[in-house]
Chains A and B, each alone.
Chain A
């Protein structure tokens, strides 16, 4: 593999709460290659958003305690001071969020908001900044951008607002774009267009993408590699085809089996019984053991390592897939 753009090593996030420490991200490690799309998939509470917020130093510390390393251009993002971080955030690594209405300022025109990172990071001013902003709006597919640049966020539809947020995200041509459930609030037809748009921009700008989502359908469409998170742990990491085909890990298996697939006619879904664990009271051994259909004695005794039995395919399970028997 070529030199990764970002290397995350043993990243942990613990929240100090009144009821004790809650470890919501537990020693996760992954690499992001240049131009690669890495999907981080998991359910609510799996740590997928928190781990990315930690990378960007966007978590309030305290109550959060962040440990580990995230190496970007030879420097650890987690230990940079705020002025250094500001040079990277929004400029070299940008992030877009689920709800465009909370990422946009309702009392400022979108032009104003779009020009802010351009002026701050690229040093463009006045007319040049405005022209660049219009160019960006064109790029993300907003019609008659020259007029719409002076509109306020409420004058845009949900899909158009999300395009504005994407334009802000890519305004400085970042090396890495982190999309945190960026299309989740959109209708499927709009989602299809936005995904198309982001993938096209990625090709043109050569960005690496971290795509955080709970939607395995979206993962199948956008990702090169996938990290599956559960209760703060990486349960599986693989190339997208291997992940969906081999289903090495019982949690990934359960997740895929519980999805309704259009065109498939079986009447019953295979639900995963039970609930994800409470981070204040994590189970002993494997984090998935209380819900795992293949659970054995060793699973509740010992936490399995994230093994790599096949190069490039890691799974946190004591067993190989052929040895899993319910």
Chain B
């Protein structure tokens, strides 16, 4: 049995909404993340997929404590992340890193790429003196397929894919165990996406990395992940291995999502039946009672508005839906 590296229980991140008057009264909360449970095992890739606004990026940021959670428990390698002091958190951060969607926004345009990659080394006091750091930066650039002689160049001198490689080199600088990849390929062209995904995979094999891969592109998530968690309106609705999720999705939302992903094959496209969802995603300020998918669910029944379904099931395939019993067996048509 693989051991968990990251486990999250009941994670909530609520952002206060204040009145526009002088009192700035706290009038409501945007429940961006509203009770997320997930486990990432050592050495695996967990894909976290969902549509815009579902809270997937916020979940990633909260796990690294780059934003503070409102409630819940986050454990990293047995350490309770939320109770750490600033100093201890900083020490722990060496072991976790993040790769962002838009490398142009996450790389300082006034720093050379060598300095960008060296910054985490300086912050954490790693790799010794200047010469040591220089050597290490050279190694890191080479590792991600960039020419170390280009270390004095600036981000604007690189293409989108190369800039993403710089972001990856920076993430690897402190030799982390765990990397949150937040839409790392969404801003890249198709032919470059494959290059970056292959690089991330090679690095995982070589360095034994554990990834949380956050994306809206289900085809990419499915290709890249060992297991997949599907998120909707601040909650995980289903978790399964990538094969299971593709072959037998259980949650009505997962089924709709899968049916909507365009497949590059005209014959498949002609013959598939899409499940079109009614309406829009409800506001996270005032989510529906009970199951929060029920307002768009074609199978909703009396129990759904009353009771919040738990995420449960057997053999690693968990689903939060009243159509299934606690072992994940369908009990309703």
Contact = CB atoms under 8 A, between A and B. Distances in A.
Nearest to B202: A268
A196 B274 contact: yes
Contact of A221 (B194, B269, B281): B269
Interface stretch (B83-91, B146-154, B252-260, B299-307): B252-260
A10 interface: no
In this complex, the interface size class of chain A, counting residues with CB under 8 Å from chain B, is 35 or more
Contacts of B256: 189
B274 A262 contact: no
Contact of A261 (B193, B257, B263): B263
A43 B264 contact: no
Contact of A220 (B161, B222, B264, B274): B264
B19 interface: no
A219 B266 CA distance: 8
B111 interface: no
A188 B51 contact: yes
A244 B266 contact: yes
B190 interface: yes
Interface stretch (A60-68, A81-89, A270-278, A301-309): A270-278
B189 interface: yes
A214 B189 contact: yes
Interface stretch (B63-71, B126-134, B212-220): B212-220
Contacts of B201: 267-268
B52 interface: yes
A269 B274 contact: no
Interface string A176-202: 000000000001111111001000000
B219 A187 contact: no
B266 A217 contact: no
Contact of B193 (A188, A193, A258, A264): A258
B263 A188 contact: no
Contacts, number: 126
B246 A263 contact: yes
Contact of A193 (B222, B263, B276): B276
Interface string B118-152: 00000000000000000000000000000000000
Contacts of B258: 262
Given A189-B277, A192-B276, A270-B194, A217 B51 contact: no
Contacts of B193: 258
A218 to B, nearest CB: 5
B219 A259 contact: yes
A193 B275 CA distance: 9
A115 B207 CA distance: 60
**Best-buried of A160, A255, A258 by chain B (most CB within 10 Å):** A258
B214 to A, nearest CB: 15
A223 B270 CA distance: 11
B198 interface: yes
Q: Which 8 A-B pairs have the closest CB atoms?
A: A217-B262, A260-B223, A271-B194, A258-B194, A187-B51, A269-B194, A192-B260, A272-B191
Given A214-B189, A273-B195, 14 more contacts: A43-B190, A159-B280, A188-B257, A189-B260, A220-B269, A221-B269, A258-B190, A259-B219, A261-B263, A262-B219, A265-B243, A268-B201, A272-B194, A275-B192
21 contacts: A43-B190, A43-B191, A188-B216, A188-B260, A188-B261, A189-B256, A190-B51, A192-B259, A192-B276, A196-B274, A214-B190, A215-B262, A221-B263, A221-B266, A258-B191, A258-B193, A260-B194, A262-B222, A263-B222, A267-B201, A268-B198
